[in-house]
Amino acid sequence: SVFAGPNHLVIFHMNDTHAHVWGTEDGGGFARAATLINQAREEVAKEGGAVLFLHAGDVNTGIPESDQLDAVPDFLALHYMGLDAMVLGNHEFDKPFEVLEKQYEVAQFPFLGANFVDEKHGGPIFEPYIIKDYGDFSVGIIGLVTEQTKVLEPIYLGENTIVDAEETLKKYLPIVQEKADVVIVLGHLGYYADGRRPYLPVEFTTSDELAENISGVDIIIDGHTHTLLETPVVINNVIVAQAGDNAENIGRIDLWIDDGRIVDWRGEVIPLTSDIPEDPFIKMFTDAFYQLGSEALNEVVEETKVYLDGEHARSDETNLSNLITDSMIWKTGADVALMNGGGIRASIEAGDITYRDILTVLPFGNTLYILELTGKDIMDVLNYAAKIPDGQGAKLHVAGLTAEIKGGKATNVKINGEPIDLNRTYKVVTNNYMASGGDGYTMLAGKPGYDTYFRDADALREYIAHLGTIEDYTSQERLIELDQ
């Protein structure tokens, strides 16, 4: 290098942006992030350094205008922002695999996932790692996907699966160390050092445990838990960073590298405050996409006089959870409806209800799935649900059925007012997510049934239109918890 002293590498990282490509007047958004990245590119160019921009997964799902357009605005913006690579987040599997392939074509940057493999042959589906060669030094980036995806988003994995992240890293690490001076794990794994581990029937690798157990990795850039680490945490000499969510912040790590070794570093998370100007090009074309996504969503479906509560759907039965499960029965004529509280993603304020509001509550594009279950099968579902602690996405909501929950068991179960018959077959409606074993409802996977291919959000929209103005929707308890 013509420049004296160590080389400067600036790493920018975002994670869990969840369709939040557009900022608001209060800040956030990709156009503000682009401004900071471009500024840094100009600065380091003068001193002979480089900028690396990474996304730690979950680009998809969260804002209806983007969801309607399969997150094409997000991937295109990241492309023009010069993203070097992303790792696949679990929400990249919210839609069929063809959608991910389309996103890959739009993005034209690597979708890393060393442990996202073909079930039969074990080979990676996308790139396991990349090497960035900056002349004076090189950086290797290995992508690791959370094993939780197998439980959280099982529907569209198909013939592909997620294998053990730590074991996979052990396999690739020597190869990458051979080729690169600095080794980065780009993980959508989750940081659980603060103790909040979800209750899930799958073994999974976390970023903090990975740092603890593995040597040879310099930095773990993480996502999935939406954790805002204002400065990176150092665990076992590994720098672990995560930058919140929803494009409200961008992480920045500055490295100084001499003779292939990191000799100094500093890290921070920069809030994308409103005083940061929006990059005009990114803003211009993403705004045009917003218009496009927006038109269909503004249609007013009905009016509600009351607040429809989605906020507490992981701990309580609410008027909105009852409305949703009732819409499922209304649409399909099933005896019983089953819905996971974690699938209810927002509340609806009193006032006009637009299609946008409904898609914000039910953003996954899930379809209604009919299952033939015996009374005994239904008891298995209820007894699993009875053991789920409050606050988990797996919290069960029902219609057509009442039961008492005590000591982790369901008793006094009635279907349409009649005591459950263990040998009878009932028609049960759920979403395709739960039907394929999502949220640990593995007892449902493989049961006889069929997909109606009818969107849950559309069933809710039609049901609300059918009800007319919602004066009140009293939440009448169906799964009555006797423990409290």
224 in contact with ligand ATP (CB under 6 A)? yes
Residue 152 contact among ligand ATP, Zn ion, none, beta carbon within 5 to 8 Å by kind: ligand ATP
Closest-by-Cβ residue to ligand ATP is 342
What is the amino acid identity at position 167?
E
272 in contact with ligand ATP (CB under 6 A)? no
Question: Considering the complex, what minimum distance in angstroms separates the CB of residue 59 from Zn ion?
Answer: 11
Residue 342 contact among Zn ion, ligand ATP, none, beta carbon within 5 to 8 Å by kind: ligand ATP
Rank residues 224 and 478 by Cβ distance to ligand ATP and give the closer one.
224
Residue 94 contact among ligand ATP, Zn ion, none, beta carbon within 5 to 8 Å by kind: ligand ATP
Structure tokens at 385: 């649900």
x-marked contacts with Zn ion along 212-231 as a string, rule CB under 5 A: ------------x-------
152 in contact with ligand ATP (CB under 6 A)? yes
209 in contact with ligand ATP (CB under 6 A)? no
Q: Which stretch binds ligand ATP (CB under 6 A): 38-46, 254-262, 335-343, 381-389?
A: 335-343
C-beta separation of 431 from 456 below 8 A: yes
Give the Cα separation of 85 and 64 in Å (integer).
25
In this chain, which of 23, 28, 62, 89 binds Zn ion, going by CB under 5 A? 89
Neighbours of 262 (CB within 10 A): 17
End-to-end alpha carbon distance in the chain: 69
What are the Cα distances from residue 35, in Å, to 10, 11, 81, 274?
A: 14, 15, 9, 12
Phi/psi of residue 216, each to 5°? 110, -10
Give the Cα separation of 479 and 196 in Å (integer).
26
Neighbours of 242 (CB within 10 A): 28
Give the Cα separation of 141 and 120 in Å (integer).
26
Structure tokens at 254: 């500055």
Question: Considering the complex, what minimum distance in angstroms separates the CB of residue 205 from ligand ATP?
Answer: 15
61 in contact with Zn ion (CB under 5 A)? no
Rank residues 93 and 426 by Cβ distance to Zn ion and give the closer one.
93
Give the Cα separation of 217 and 220 in Å (integer).
7
Q: Which residues bind ligand ATP (CB under 6 A)?
A: 16, 58, 90-91, 94, 152-153, 224-226, 340, 342-343, 364, 366, 393-394, 431, 433, 439
Q: Which residues bind Zn ion (CB under 5 A)?
A: 58, 89-90, 224
